[in-house]
Structure formats: C-alpha cells, structure tokens
Amino acid sequence: MFLVSESKSTNASNDTTNKSNDTSRSQPVVPVLTSSTTTNAGSSPSTPNLSEELKVVSQLRKFSFNELKLATRSFRPESLLGEGGFGCVFKGWINENGTAPVKPGTGLPVAVKTLNHNGLQGHREWLAKVNFLGDLLHSNLVKLIGFCIEDNQRLLVYEFMPRGSLENHLYRRFMPLPWSIRMKIALDAAKGLSFLHEEAERPVIYRDFKTSNILLDADYNAKLSDFGLAKDGPEGDKTRVSTRVMGTYGYAAPEYVMTGHLTSKSDVYSFGVVFLEMLTGRRSMDKTRPNGKHNLVEWARPYLAERRRFYRLIDPYLQGQFSIKGAQRAIQMVDHSLSCDPKSRPLMSEVVEALKPPNLKDMACSPSQFQAIQIERMASTSKSRTGNRVPAGLVNKEWTTCKEPLNSKWSANLPVSQ
C-alpha cells in the first residue's frame, strides 16, 4: 500500500535519486479515496499576474533562467544530482552575494531544482511552496536561497549539501555510519522538527519525514529538505488538520492513514521510524527480507518492549561500537515515539532534550561484551529456527539486567549519545 494526498503547495511527493541534495527513493504513490480541499486543476505554468507576486521576494534572490543555465553548465548530465516526479536537481555555482553564475569550484555551490512541466505540480502550488519555504529559517532546515520564474520556467535554488541524504549512508555495509554520527544526525533532525512544530511563527507539520529527506553537509550536520508535503498545523482551539492521506508507506502514522487526521504527533511517529532505521541499519520497508521482517516496525515491536533483548535491534555492522546505556534509552524513545496512541508520543522538544549528549562512560562495548551479543544473537536465531530452548550458558547476565524502569516519564532526562 502506498499513500498520496493533498497539501497546499503540491499533490505529489518529490522523490529523486540518491545523490547530493537528493530526496530520493521513496515508494511510488497512488491515490487514497478521501476528500481534498484544494487541487491543482486549472493551474497554469504561465507567468503570474502582478497580483500573484511572491510575498517573500525581498528575502530571496531572484534569478534569471539564463543565470541558472550558466551556473549549471546548461543543465548538462554531469551536473545532475537527482530526478523525480517534480523535475531534476542540478549542481551549480553562483556568486556568494548575488545571482551571477561563476566558474565551477569558485563562489557558492547550490542545488537547482527544476519543475517538470508534465508533473503534477502547477504554478499556483509552486508559488505557494516558495512563499511557504521563504518563511522557514533554521539551521536544521535546508535553506532556500532563491527562485526563478520566467515564462514557463520554474526553478528553486537551495544550499548544496555535499554528503547527500542520510539514506545514501545508512544502509551501506563497507563503511557504516559510526554510533556518534548517527546520534548527531538524529539530534539535528529532531531539532528541525521541533522548530517546525513549536518554534515557527505558524506551526508546520512536515508530513514526509524519512531518511531520503534528511540531507548532510560536509561535517554530517543534518537538515530537513523537500517541503512539498508540508502543511500548516492546527491553530487556536483546533487540535488537528483533516486532509487526504499523503506520504510514504512505512513512515506514515497509523491513525493518519486510517482517518486522515493530521497532527504534529504524526511527525513524531515518522521520527520514531527513522530513528529505528538508524539504530538497526534496516529500511522501514524491505521486501527482500524473510517473511515477517518486511515491515521494520512490526518486526521490532516485540524487542522494543523487552529491554533485555535490546541488542537484537542494534545494527550488527557497528561491531559493538555503541553506547550500551545510550542504546537502551534510544530504544525506549523509539518505543514511545511509535506508540499507537498519539497522545502518548513525546513532543519533539522533549526528544531534543533526550538526545542531547550526556557524559556516558560506556561509549563502546568491550570485545567480550560484543562477543556475548553475537553468541546470544546466534542462539536466538537457532532457537527461532528449531524451536529449541536456548542453553542457559549462552545468555550473558550483564545484558538481561535492567535497573531502570521501561515506562519512565518523558519529563525525565533520557540521554542517548555522548
């Protein structure tokens, strides 16, 4: 099952391939039979009237099409960063303080996103997206630098993120992301969501939180990208927004999929899925895995509830190089974030506080501890295959002892990294 819906600025998710500033490899989407308040029917790609002038024009740089053509070297294939339903993304170089194109390797590198004229997004939706993004400024959101609106051309210019998406790095096996980097990325992404939910002038529900939409700079600072599905959150006495369902299967909150009722806690659920992916090194949906393991959340739930078996959730490619206490607390956070009751999920500001680095002394397992983990993993796998009881001698007591209650309140400090 795949999901699609409506937002003010677009009617489809922007799924591009796996390179820098790429928000890629989402599942395909098909419509869900629910109502919509706005559509792109009748949208025209023609140049807008003066009455449609961009509200944020003074805050953004306005590029000519020729400037961006020169900046990307005529949009040649070697400049291509990714492509998807809305168009292509190209790398370009511009003057640091202006719009003039410069020689590659000098000035400011940028990511130029074009609008596919045959895509689902029309001019009015594109215009709304620019106005939407122009109001959002935060260190953990990819910055919109400027735009081009000329004849039938529609382009957006973003800051360039050299390491591409988290998805590009998380599932590789030859150089797995270290534990400390994973926790840093999780904290940065949580800060981005917290800003959208609780600090922005108008609350925003991101609605498309996933590994391909988390981009990394050269120092692995993480920023949220692609706000094509973002929607204004409820204001005043309202507690939710009713909308058609849109997103990527495996990340969308179950109550949103079932009812179309959207809240900030829908994003919290998606954060829990992504954080679980970061801990396990597994994709949220993976049909190549054995039956019963296709859906990551469904497979992980039995282990989330039993702290003594937390090690079964940790990416084996970390080779034991992770914080023991941090991993236990991180899994506790995932468990809360994935609660079936939205009201039981934490606020993203609480997640941010929990992810802030503590002074843990057990950053990495010792060789003997890691060996014990591997032995019990093997024993558990053997048990599941044969139905036999695991020999008592294979279980390390150090890993079955839990001094802290699993259901501690979120007001408590639950640090997970160093």
Mean pLDDT over all residues of the chain?
77
SS3 90: strand
Query: pLDDT tens digits for 257-272?
Result: 998 889 999 999 999 9
The residue that leads in pLDDT, 173 or 303, is 303
Q: Is residue 385 part of a domain?
A: yes
Q: Is residue 156 part of a domain?
A: no
* Percent of the chain at pLDDT exceeding 90: 46
Query: pLDDT tens digits for 264-296?
Result: 999 999 999 999 999 999 999 998 888 888 999
Query: pLDDT tens digits for 227-241?
Result: 878 777 666 556 556
CB atoms within 10 A of CB 403: 5
| Helix residue ranges, H only, 97-244 | 123-134, 166-170, 179-194
117, 152 Cβ separation under 8 angstroms? yes
H-helix or E-strand spanning residue 375: helix 367-386
83, 77 Cβ separation under 8 angstroms? no
pLDDT band at 82 (very low <50, low <70, confident <90, very high): confident
Residue type, 337: S
Number of domains in the chain: 1
Q: Give me Rg for the CA atoms of the chain.
A: 23
Q: Is residue 151 part of a domain?
A: no
| Helix residue ranges, H only, 46-165 | 65-71, 123-134
Given 15, 208, 315, 335, the catalytic residue? 208
Q: Residue 5: is its pLDDT beyond 70? A: no
Q: What share of the chain is helix, strand, coil (3-state, %, to 5)?
A: 35, 15, 50
CA distances from 107 to 30, 68, 148, 215 (A): 41, 14, 19, 21
Lowest mean pLDDT among 87-91, 171-175, 313-317, 381-385: 381-385
Q: Residue 44: is its pLDDT beyond 90? A: no
Domain ranges, residue 298: 166-399
Lowest mean pLDDT among 32-46, 165-179, 329-343, 372-386: 32-46
Q: Is residue 10 part of a domain?
A: no
CATH for 326:
1.10.510.10
Question: Which residues line the annotated binding site for ATP?
Answer: 113
Q: What is the pLDDT of residue 83?
A: 79
Q: Residue 10: is its pLDDT beyond 50? A: no
Q: Is residue 110 part of a domain?
A: no
Query: pLDDT tens digits for 129-147?
Result: 787 788 889 999 999 999 9
Question: Which residues line the annotated binding site?
Answer: 113
400 DSSP assignment? T
Q: Is residue 173 part of a domain?
A: yes
The residue that leads in pLDDT, 95 or 40, is 95
208 is catalytic: yes
Q: Is residue 291 part of a domain?
A: yes
CA 46 – CA 122 distance, rounded (Å): 10
Burial (CB count <10 Å: 0-12, 13-18, 19+), residue 121: buried
For the whole prediction, is pTM greater than 0.85? no
Average pLDDT over residues 373-402: 51
Lowest mean pLDDT among 259-263, 348-352, 378-382: 378-382
Q: What is the pLDDT of residue 250?
A: 92
271, 189 Cβ separation under 8 angstroms? yes
The residue that leads in pLDDT, 19 or 226, is 226
Q: What is the pLDDT of residue 31?
A: 31
Q: What is the pLDDT of residue 84?
A: 66
